[in-house]
Structure 1
Amino acid sequence: MSLNVANHYGLNVNLNKKPLKANNSVVNESSALSNNRINRTGNLYSLSFTGNPNHILLISAECRPFAKTGGMGDVNCELPGVYNEKNSGSKGKDEIRVMVPLYNSEGGPVEKDGKLYFVHSGGKEYPLEKTGIEADFTYGSNKSKAVLYKSENPENGVMTYFVHSPEISKDKKEYTDPYSNMYGTYSAFSSACVAFLKGLNKKENFDVGVLHTTDWHTAFAINNLHEAQKKDHSLDGIKTVHTFHNAGYIYQGAVEPLRAVVNNFGNKDIAKVLQDNRIQTELEKLGAEKSLKGLRNLLDDKEQNPENYAEPEASKSINKINRRIIKVCENQPWDKYGNYNPSRQAIKEADLLTTVSSGFMEEMMSSDKIAPVIRPDLKKNEHKTVGIVNGLEPGGFDPAKVKFPFNSFDFSSQKINNKLYLQENLSLNGSKEVLNSGKNAPVEGYLEKDPEKMLCFLASRFDTGQKGIDMLMKSAEKFLEKNENIQLVIGAPIPVKEENSELVTNFKKNVIEKYPGRVVLIKEYLSLPQFMAGADAFFVPSRWEPCGLTQLQAMRMGAIPIVSNTGGLKDTITSIQENPNKATGFKTSDNLFFLEKPEDELARVVGEAYKTFSSDKTTWNKMIKNALTYDSSWNKAVGQYYNSVYHNPIIDNKQAKTGENLIRIA
């Protein structure tokens, strides 16, 4: 089913407006801006106000250390911490607080010796306090009650709120399967977050000015807020920001219409569905009750007994119901596959849209491969898009903390020592002490000890979609055959079902066995700092990469990135062709995803890197020094979030409810 996006939404788009570009000004920590101080930075104004703080509530499925699966958990921890720190010296300071589900706590927090704790699914305990805030909320036709707890993030002191409700807290951790379970969890969570806004103002003195949602899991909250504002005008001043950390279709939260009716639709649309004669006919054929309860039971039975709905007649009735729901409720965010898509709704309704690099935002708006379904929506809303590269906390990525410590002044000899250490460990009879699980680690192949070899390293999940590990494994035979002084180490946990796949089998036969002493495959996650400290080059061959952290981590450890020319990799790596004096890595001619023969292009770039490594040490060492001194801190990103997001004219274009002396722009 294909829908006309523009007609469906009735989008009002001024095509003369250009997309917003993030500027680099960092917040002045020493003083607040007064009414007569408007700082022009690029094409945006840097805004501040001297009244109450601008309170930003960031809601998400993840925030380290409480819940983390990927990079989003890191960002939601690090950005608020640095942002709040940078604003701590101004009179009218901003503050970001975070709200996450209270996972693994269906019965509520654990009580010990009169104190409350959130117990992570991994066993770690975090103290909680009661806020005294409770709220009734609805998500779709479902009604529930939620209780709010709080705790300071132990890593940076950021106030973090935890939402408890049976529908939310039954999940042991983030993204608990099945997908349908997740969908209900995050629909409920999004609604509960909005229901808590007035309580935060009254009992926590946190009068939210910006609601910042992240990915599809909290995209529902934007519409929830707008519906609440129709009934309660005290919420009218709250603006919304939505961030995409990924844009593939599986990251958009799309579900079949029947599930959307139960979890998202309001009473009016539910009534339309239940009163439709054609839907009633199909429910009767399926033996389902012609009521909301009947729809819920139908969904439950469809999940528990899928074989019953694989029969041609039953499948036909389900499809007819879904198609009819779309026809009856045309105002919902349906996509071209006939699914309810909350990401489309977020694009339409959010005041500002962000992602984690300008390169990725450009690709999202230009390529259906990168952002299937939502690309046209993003393009139509280009005037309210911003891309900002993530920062990176030092953490364990410090060259002074590896086996042979080094810095930007003595890296030359010490990098070689770290490489020899890796080669010795991964030699035929090496100790393997650099591996997480010691001598029993699943390792195939070995390395010869030779400081003149260019040691290349890849660490990734075994992802033959986004991360491009398949392209590297296929390309390896080409560049190893052509350049006999290249070594390759791949660290990636290979699922059991992939062990005998054609890709892995061919890699073992045509690469590991064919080039003894030059290739190692380690089938587990690795301690990255030591491997990066010993590697000469680090691969990031992604088909798409919204921001990427590993290339930033590699640069901090003096490993030169060899990357696909995409998204955040394009933004953070400078090639010799772009600027020989500031080069930090090597990039393919285009995104590998867009090329007909990506393996050939990857082999070509590896050859370019090897030529520089082997015959132009002056340039190579200059690149290492550039990489080591590259500013990947959050300071730059925080300035951009301040000027281009939270104080963007789209967000602060009128008197804000959180401050009386906000600077205005006519």
Structure 2
Amino acid sequence: MTPLRILNVCAEFVPLAKSGGLGDVTAALARHLTATGQDVVTVLPRYGIIAAPPAGAEPVAGPNSLTVGGANIEYCIFLHDIGPEVGRVFVVDCPELFGDEIYSSGEPEAHRFVLLCRAALDLCRALEWSPEIVHCHDWHTALVPALLREAARSEPLFTAASTVLTIHNIGYQGVFSANVLRDTGYEDLLELTDPVDLAADDVNMLKTGVMHADALTTVSPTHAGEIQTPEYGMGLEILLQQRGHRLLGILNGVDYALWSPETDPHIDVRYSAETIADKRRNKLALLEELALDADVDAPVLGMVSRLVLQKGVDLFEAVLPEMLGEQGARCVVLGTGEPPYTDAMRALADEWPDRLAFIEAYDDRMSHRILAGSDLFVIPSRYEPCGLTQLYALRYGTVPVVRKTGGLADSIRHFDPATGEGNGSVFEDANADGLRWGLTAALDWYRDPDAWSRLMANGMSADFSWHHQAPAYEKLYRTLAGK
């Protein structure tokens, strides 16, 4: 088949920039599309954490300028070579807007992503490259469909392009004062935003993308239905119902080159389903590294998460004393978040210094070690569009305890010891009692060696690789491109 020309516009892309699962997904999808012969071009900001272009390097585009509040801010676009396996990657270099942090807040954050959307089109012009598919991710790039629609009126370069907007997390919509577009020279774009928002002198970037994209996807089949309801739609449910014929749920995949205990460079002892006994050695190493009571027979609960309401961290904090006390568990929590939840977790760690370790940071190495060293992996999310950590946990023989929502519901099936079927513990109610039930069930299985061995084997044999998921995107792309 004829290769597709695909422009991938995103705020995160591993290994250059990662705050959460978005960076994993954008990079893995680019890698697998490139492997199937597609012509993939990715553009993202050059944050301060990304190496600057070498001295004397020539930009492929620019210097250009964006007007922000009457001041001209210059930017250039450079090729950033991270290997041919992910296609061509370009970064937008603008130190005035893109600092060390991937995300900021307020109007400065809006300005930086308006620039990214503009730069995506600039890149195509500079390359004289006509994309057939422009794939945008979350609110950060959701102005691109409207910008592209306007550009295609006068520029043949863009007339063949169809747009795909993937909603990774509908809870973040990019709502700002309409002055953000006025200040950056895009006042005319306000006519393409929602009139209700405009009446309040606001612009909702994600909503604007939903209105104008040729196709919409979200990251699991269940979540595609959920976001069309008032409970999960976050105010966009009616619009998503109206555009439901263009909405598709595609479960995220896993890049097992990065997430496999057989090859993981971050763990003490590599293991497979055939050498699963070696997992205990990683458990002991984790407990010793974190100065926890190193009883290798005690169950270890792991959590790697943002500590925010969405993730159900408060539910976990409510049941942790019982798990650490009556159930005799150890627990390792890794993540940053909001003060009510980080404060509570810190207090619990102070109360249980030999049984609970709280690492308030983002640490990729430690996330791998927690996956390998834990027995249970806890994901009590109130909503979870897809989730990746439960998929990682399965491959590491670590049993997920999850709430039945979004991608968690699509990937984890409650274990039945009588039949030996299932790969985790699934609870329904988003409260402490629901989570307590899910954890207690899993701990009962943990104390039954035969059941536990079967459960771990079920998880490790599951295949959620992009080899199975990426074809759904390619099929969508080819439908849009008429190929």
Give TM-score, length-normalised by structure 1: 0.65
Amino acid aligned to 1:348: M
Q: Residues 75, 199 of structure 1: CA spacing in aligned structure 2 closer, same or farther, 3 A cutoff?
A: same
Q: Report deviation, 1:585.
A: 0.6
- Look up the SS of the partner of 1:98 in the other structure: strand
Unaligned runs of 5+ in 2: none
2:149 match: secondary structure: helix
Q: CA deviation at 1:135?
A: 6.3
Aligned to 1:148: 77
1:263-662 correspondence to structure 2 within 5 Å: 263=184, 265-266=186-187, 332=195, 334=197, 339-368=202-231, 370-400=232-262, 401=264, 402-411=267-276, 413-423=277-287, 425=288, 432=289, 435=290, 446-451=292-297, 453-461=298-306, 463-480=307-324, 483-493=326-336, 501=343, 503-504=344-345, 507=348, 512=352, 518-525=355-362, 527-576=366-415, 580-590=419-429, 592=430, 598-615=431-448, 617-643=449-475, 645-648=476-479, 651-653=480-482, 662=483
What secondary structure sits across from 1:563 in the alignment? strand
Structure 2 distance, partners of 1:640, 1:187, is 29
- Structure 2 counterpart of 1:303: none
CA RMSD of aligned residues (A): 3.4
The separation in 2 between residues aligned to 1:79 and 1:582, in whole angstroms, is 30
**Partner AA of 2:352 in structure 1:** I
Structure 2 residue identity aligned to 1:563: V
The one-letter code matched in structure 2 to 1:621 is S
Cα distance 1:571–1:337, how it changes in 2: closer, same or farther (>3 A)?
farther
Whether the aligned pair in 2 keeps the contact of 1:63 and 1:74 (CA below 8 Å) is yes
Give the distance between the partners of 2:178 and 2:140, measured in 1 at CA: 17
Work out the CA distance in 1 between the residues paired with 2:211 and 2:220: 21
Matched, 1:226 2:70: no
In 1, the alpha carbon distance for the partners of 2:198 and 2:462 equals 42
In 2: Cα distance, 1:346 partner to 1:500 partner: 33
**Which residue identity does 1:266 align to in structure 2?**
E
Q: Distance in 1 between matches of 2:382 and 2:157?
A: 45
2:34–2:86 CA contact under 8 A, matched in 1 = no
Query: Does the aligned pair in 2 maintain the 1:139–1:191 contact within 8 Å?
Result: no
Aligned in 2, Cα 1:467/1:578: closer, same or farther, shift over 3 Å?
A: farther
Structure 1 residues 619 and 182: CA distance shift in structure 2, 3 A: same
Show the 5 A alignment for 1:14-413: 32=1, 50=2, 53-85=3-35, 87-88=36-37, 94-104=38-48, 110-112=53-55, 115-116=56-57, 130-131=59-60, 147-154=76-83, 156-164=85-93, 166=94, 170-173=97-100, 175-201=102-128, 206-248=129-171, 251-263=172-184, 265-266=186-187, 332=195, 334=197, 339-368=202-231, 370-400=232-262, 401=264, 402-411=267-276, 413=277
Q: Deviations over 1:621-660 (max 9, x none)?
A: 11101111211221011111111x2123xx134xxxxxxx
Q: 3-state SS of the aligned residue for 1:391?
A: coil
Q: CA deviation at 1:142?
A: 8.5
Would you say the 8 A contact 1:529–1:557 is kept in 2?
no
Counterpart CA distance in 1 for 2:303 and 2:396 is: 14
Q: Match for 1:208: what amino acid?
A: P
Q: How far 1:55 moved relative to its partner?
A: 0.3
Paired AA for residue 27 in structure 2: C
> Per-residue deviation at 1:556?
1.6
Distance in 2 (CA, whole Å) between partners of 1:216 and 1:522 is 29
Residue deviations 1:235-273 (CA, integer Å, cap 9, x gap) = 22211111111111xx11111234343336435979xxx
The alignment partner of 1:172 has SS state of: coil
Q: Which letter maps to 1:416? A: R
Q: Which whole-Å CA distance do the structure 2 matches of 1:488 and 1:102 have between them?
A: 37
Task: Quote the Cα distance in structure 1 between the aligned partners of 2:283 and 2:194.
Answer: 60
Quote the Cα distance in structure 1 between the aligned partners of 2:373 and 2:176: 46
User: Which amino acid letter does the alignment assign opposite residue 58 of structure 1?
Assistant: N
Q: Residues 222 and 613 (structure 1 numbering): CA distance in 2 closer, same or farther, change over 3 Å?
A: same
Paired residue type of 2:248: V
- CA deviations 1:22-65 (Å, max 9, x no partner) are xxxxxxxxxx3xxxxxxxxxxxxxxxxx4xx3201011222223
Q: CA deviation at 1:541?
A: 1.3
TM-score (norm 2): 0.87
- Residues 130-179 of structure 1: CA deviation (Å, up to 9, x unaligned): 43677677899987775432133248352012334x5x754224545342
Residue 345 of structure 1: how far off its partner (Å): 1.5
Instruction: Report the secondary structure of 1:458's partner residue.
Output: strand
Superposed displacement of residue 197, structure 1:
2.7
Distance 1:504 1:335, change over 3 A: farther
* Inter-partner Cα distance in structure 2 for 1:266 and 1:536: 54
d(CA) in 1 for partners of 2:188 and 2:255? 46
> Against the structure 1 CA distance between its residues 83 and 183, is the aligned structure 2 distance closer, same or farther, given a 3 Å change threshold?
same
Shift of 1:382: 0.7
Paired with 2:360 and 2:84, the residues of 1 have a C-alpha distance of 31
What is the distance in 2 between the residues matched to 1:245 and 1:357?
9
**Number of equivalences:** 477
Alpha-carbon displacement from aligned partner over 1:509-538 (angstroms, at most 9, x marks no partner): 8x628xxx5444444455133332232111
> 1:466-493: per-residue Cα shift (whole Å, max 9, x none)?
2222210112234455x53433333345
- In structure 2, do the counterparts of structure 1 residues 160 and 489 end up closer, same or farther at CA, with 3 Å as the change threshold? closer
Residue of structure 2 equivalent to 1:284? none
Q: Distance in 2 between matches of 1:460 and 1:130?
A: 37
Please tell me the residue identity of whatever aligns with 1:487: R
State whether residues 187 and 264 of structure 1, in contact with CA within 8 Å, keep that contact through their aligned partners in structure 2.
Answer: no
Larger RCO (alpha carbons 8 Å, 6+ apart): 1
Give the AA of the match of 1:359.
Answer: T
Q: Is the 8 A contact 2:106 2:176 kept in 1?
A: no
Q: Is the 8 A contact 2:130 2:158 kept in 1?
A: no
Amino acid in structure 2 at the alignment position of 1:244: I
Identity across aligned pairs (percent)?
Answer: 24
